[in-house]
């Protein structure tokens, strides 16, 4: 099966997100290997576009990514554990300090320039605003916080976190301030501050799925195709696949494709998803297997043909019950990958 990745779409999505942020710089989250699509390729492409700030989760991810292009900064969101200090002090990336322990560790090592995460309500990583005193004497490059509910624009949490972050900005000196992920970047200028940090939307995710502006501004990046490795005739009353969960009402033709849950095409698509060739749409019949699925087809489909998966992440998420984030990050390692 093939995974084709559209570098122009990635670049266009970044430019669109940058515009949403007004005067703010636009960074890029490339954690989890660029949301499963390829962090190295994403960094190189977006750096050429003008992106100067990248984010990974861990020092292992930073090391795997390798040298960054000139003039480009990398930040490690999980901060520094004791075991991370050699990597962190090597200067390959900046830590995002999250806890009193991490701040003390960084200060004791004389670590230099760093980023800091303040928790404004999510209760995930970050110092509480009341711990700001611990930061005295640190050279903070980017002071950031993270939104819990930005994909629900009307959620009261957004305004609450914005107000807390405004107060933090008055209290803690830093070169730059950053609050917004993809969905936050679409909440309007007040959320942009100096730097936005989109991830999902770069890769074709639509943070608020029914938002027309986002739908027209963001292009799919990943295209998945699978090959027909057998076509069979199924008689009326016969079943297809594990558990015999689908039974043919009438005689029909079924194509078997070489993709399955080991490729991140999870079982939520059993009897639910569909595949395409041109304008023809072929529904999945039966359960998704580890390496195979069955789709109901017409006479035109032959062994050796390639069928394409719908590229619209919001509708795939709806059909499968997975989030758009999961759909991307679970893609396995067996695809023939090609960036265009």
CB of 31 to ligand PLP, least distance (A): 6
46, 77, 316, 317: which one contacts ligand PLP (CB under 6 A)?
77
Q: Under a CB-based contact definition with an 8 Å cutoff, are residues 296 and 253 in contact?
A: yes
Q: Does 105 bind ligand PLP (CB under 6 A)?
A: no
CB of 54 to ligand PLP, least distance (A): 11
Q: Does 37 bind ligand PLP (CB under 6 A)?
A: no
Alpha-carbon distance of 105 to 311, in angstroms, equals: 45
38, 79, 121, 198: which one contacts ligand PLP (CB under 6 A)?
198
CB of 328 to ligand PLP, least distance (A): 10
List C-alpha distances in Å: 222 to 80, 206, 219: 33, 13, 9
Taken as a whole, the chain contains a residue count of 340
DSSP lists the bridge partners of residue 232 as 254
Our CB check for ligand PLP shows the closer of 198 and 286 to be 198
Taking CB under 6 A as the rule, which mask of x and - marks residues 228-267 in contact with ligand PLP?
----------------------------------------
Q: Does 78 bind ligand PLP (CB under 6 A)?
A: no
Q: Under a CB-based contact definition with an 8 Å cutoff, are residues 229 and 257 in contact?
A: yes
Catalytic residues: 31, 242
Q: Does 197 bind ligand PLP (CB under 6 A)?
A: yes
Our CB check for ligand PLP shows the closer of 105 and 197 to be 197
List C-alpha distances in Å: 166 to 161, 171, 172, 185: 9, 9, 10, 16
Radius of gyration (Cα) for the chain, nearest Å? 23
User: What token pair was written down for 218?
Assistant: 């963001």
For 257-289, give the DSSP string.
ES--GGGT--GGGTTT-EEEETTEEEEB-S---
Our CB check for ligand PLP shows the closer of 31 and 287 to be 31
Taking CB under 6 A as the rule, which mask of x and - marks residues 169-188 in contact with ligand PLP?
------------xxx-----
The residue ranges that bind ligand PLP (CB under 6 A) are 29, 31, 77, 146, 181-183, 197-200
């Amino acid at each position: 099966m093939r995974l084709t990745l559209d570098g122009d779409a990635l670049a266009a999505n970044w430019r669109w997100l940058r515009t949403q942020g007004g005067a703010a710089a636009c960074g890029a989250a490339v954690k989890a290997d660029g949301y499963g699509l390829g962090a190295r390729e994403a960094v190189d492409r977006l750096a050429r576009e003008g992106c100067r700030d990248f984010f990974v989760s861990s020092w292992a991810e930073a090391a795997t990514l390798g040298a960054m292009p000139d003039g480009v900064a990398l930040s490690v969101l999980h901060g520094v554990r004791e075991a991370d200090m050699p990597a962190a002090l090597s200067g390959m990336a900046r830590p995002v300090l999250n806890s009193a322990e991490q701040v003390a560790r960084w200060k004791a090592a004389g670590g230099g320039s760093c980023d800091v995460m303040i928790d404004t309500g999510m209760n995930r990583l970050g110092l509480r605003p009341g711990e700001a005193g611990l930061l005295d004497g640190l050279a903070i490059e980017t002071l950031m916080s993270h939104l819990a509910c930005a994909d629900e624009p009307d959620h009261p949490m957004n305004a609450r976190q914005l107000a807390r972050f405004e107060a933090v900005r008055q209290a803690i000196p830093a070169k730059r301030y950053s609050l917004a992920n993809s969905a936050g970047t679409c909440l309007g200028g007040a959320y942009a501050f100096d730097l936005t940090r989109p991830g999902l939307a770069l890769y074709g995710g639509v943070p608020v799925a029914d938002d027309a502006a986002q739908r027209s501004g963001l292009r799919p990046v990943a295209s998945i195709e699978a090959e027909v490795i057998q076509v069979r005739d199924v008689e009326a009353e016969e079943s297809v696949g594990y558990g015999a969960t689908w039974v043919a009402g009438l005689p029909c033709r079924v194509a078997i494709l070489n993709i399955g849950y080991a490729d991140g095409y999870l079982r939520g698509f059993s009897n639910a998803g569909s595949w395409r060739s041109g304008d023809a749409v072929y529904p999945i019949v039966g359960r998704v297997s580890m390496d195979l699925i069955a789709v109901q087809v017409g006479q035109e489909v032959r062994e050796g043909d390639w069928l394409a998966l719908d590229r619209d992440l919001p509708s795939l998420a709806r059909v499968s019950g997975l989030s758009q984030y999961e759909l991307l990050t679970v893609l396995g390692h067996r695809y023939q990958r090609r960036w265009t």
